[in-house]
Amino acid sequence: MTQPPLQLDGIFPPIPTSFDDEGSVSARSICLHIENLNKFDLRGYVVLGSNGESVLLTEEEKLSVFEYARDVIPQEKLMIAGVGCESTAQTLTLAKKSAEIGANAVLVITPSYYKNRMTAEALNVHFRTVADACPVPVVVYNMPACTGIDLNAETVAALAEHPNIIGIKDSGGNIIKIGQIIRLTSTDFQVLAGSASFLLPALSVGAVGGILALANIAPAECLAIRKHFMDGDLEKARELQIRMIPVNNAITREGGVPALKAAMDMLGHQGGPVRQPLLPLSDEEKHHLRKVLQDGGVL
């Protein structure tokens, strides 16, 4: 069995991008959040994924966030840079620049604006073109809730044949499809669960870890689910997985980035404001979120 060029096994928080009260990127808050998470045995970080509000940042801001994060991410932990843009050329430019800054791999989401033309062939060409010229490994990002595009197992298996495409973050939550991907790909292609809501089921069919928004506020719990699974203690893994589902739903499916940042504020971390057109949670939403965090034992 050949080993992939980069081992992705473990838990990665997709960190939010912190802004100050004037709406500018806050280097201090980003660094403080990462430094707090460095206390945990995380495999690394995703910088500028969906939770990083990447689509709302300029290229200059994106590069600055990569630089701030890389400065405080220990060398033994991976930095995966979210570089997906609507055009292939833009994606590749950002991928190369992030690699120069120190990204160990890049996360590339499916282009989606012209979604009716994003056929399997178009997406295959897009990802392969990026992977051909990218100086670091590529991780495919399947996020149908945001893009309206859901990569099927056959398309992913075709992409997995490229030597520089080493894995996928799948946020669709279809465990049958995740199992099919693992069945159709070689053992060195790595699948990461894209949400803590299905971390344990994904691990059970062969995922190596997860890129989990929940790991920003409950890193110990996310790590424990995987550790219990790896240790063969499925009952403890199941109990913790079930307890975390409402918490995860509150900061992803229900409230999204505003809820994640509000939860971080409630925990005394560096959440802060969101960037428009996103709006902060209402007082009623915050009250609901606080109760969910308390019921889940996170707050």
Structure tokens at 62: 């994106």
169: annotated active-site residue = yes
The residue to which tokens 């080993």 are assigned:
3
pLDDT of residue 62: 98
| pLDDT value of residue 276 | 97
- Tell me the mean pLDDT in the region 109-132: 97
Q: Which of 62, 169, 261, 286 is catalytic?
A: 169
Task: Kindly list the distances between the CA atom of residue 13 and the CA atoms of 46, 48, 133, 239, 271, in Å, as whole numbers in the listed order.
Answer: 6, 11, 27, 21, 14
Compute the average pLDDT of residues 86-104.
Answer: 98
C-alpha distances in Å from residue 161, one per residue of 150, 167, 185:
19, 11, 8
Give residue 175's pLDDT: 98
Average pLDDT in the 75-83 region?
97
Tell me the pTM: 0.97
Q: Are 13 and 46 in contact (CB under 8 A)?
A: yes
Q: What average pLDDT does the segment 71-86 reach?
A: 98
Check whether 3 has a pLDDT greater than 70: no
Sequence spans of domains, the chain:
10-230
Residue 2 has pLDDT above 90, yes or no: no
User: What pLDDT is attached to residue 5?
Assistant: 75
CA dihedral 206, 189, 135, 117 (to 10 degrees): -100
Residue 270: the pLDDT is 87
Please name the CATH architecture into which domain 10-230 falls.
Alpha-Beta Barrel (3.20)
pLDDT in tens, 153-162: 999 999 999 9
Question: Mean pLDDT over residues 78-99, rounded?
Answer: 98
Rg (CA), the chain: 18
Cβ atoms within 10 Å, residue 60: 9
The mean pLDDT of 122-149, rounded to a whole number, is 98
Question: Looking at residues 241-245, what average pLDDT do you find?
Answer: 98
